[in-house]
């Protein structure tokens, strides 16, 4: 299984940068997410994640999204559902969400994700 790195074009700011490392289990998604045809972007990410956890390896997901639209939220939540299921099956999962500390709207969204997926997300504010 290979690492997953998605950086479609730095100028297309509506695509986040994705870097999922198979060797270390450290996975990161950063930037903004409001592209068209959201499922086409997130499907390979979700597939990679499902294949990765099938190998029973530990995972650290670092989320550094500063904005995501409604369609993207659905897929971010899907990722959390998958990780919740893995946690319940004994998988070693840590999720960190880095957010700018003067952005209460993002904080609300993170808390909603936690509540909906019933999974712990460590919230890490930065200035």
Partner 1 sequence: MNYDGPFIIQIISTFSKFLLENTVATEHVSKKLYRVFIELAQNVALYSSERVGLINGAFIGKGKVYIIENNDAFKCITINRIHKEHAATLIKNCSEINITPIEALRTKKRNLYKIANVQDTGAHIGLIMIYTYSANPLEFEIIDNEDGESYFKIAATINKVENS
Q: Which is nearer to partner 1, 22 or 34 (CB)?
A: 34
> Minimum Å distance from CB 102 to partner 1?
6
CA distance 77 to 80: 5
CA distance 6 to 17: 6
Paired strand residues for 122: 96
Q: Which residues bind partner 1 (CB under 8 A)?
A: 12-14, 34-37, 39, 67, 69-71, 73-75, 77-78, 102-105, 108, 112, 115-116
> Minimum Å distance from CB 116 to partner 1?
4
H or E element, residue 18: strand 17-20
Sole residue written with tokens 């990161």: 28
CA distance 78 to 73: 8
Paired strand residues for 63: 29, 97
> Minimum Å distance from CB 17 to partner 1?
16
In 10 A of CB 1, how many CB atoms?
Answer: 11
Q: Which is nearer to partner 1, 55 or 102 (CB)?
A: 102
Q: Which is nearer to partner 1, 25 or 48 (CB)?
A: 48
> Minimum Å distance from CB 47 to partner 1?
13
Q: Which is nearer to partner 1, 39 or 51 (CB)?
A: 39
């Amino acid at each position: 299984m290979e690492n997953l790195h998605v950086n479609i074009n730095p100028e297309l700011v509506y695509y986040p940068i994705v870097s999922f490392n198979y060797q270390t289990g450290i996975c990161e998604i950063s930037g903004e997410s409001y592209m068209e045809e959201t499922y086409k972007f997130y499907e390979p990410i979700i597939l990679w994640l499902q294949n990765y956890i099938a190998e029973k390896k530990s995972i650290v997901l670092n989320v550094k999204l500063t904005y995501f639209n409604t369609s993207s939220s659905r897929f971010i939540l899907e990722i959390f559902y998958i990780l919740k299921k893995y946690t319940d099956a004994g998988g070693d999962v840590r999720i960190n969400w880095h957010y700018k500390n003067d952005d209460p709207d993002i904080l609300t969204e993170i808390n909603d994700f936690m509540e909906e997926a019933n999974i712990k997300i460590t919230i890490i504010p930065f200035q």
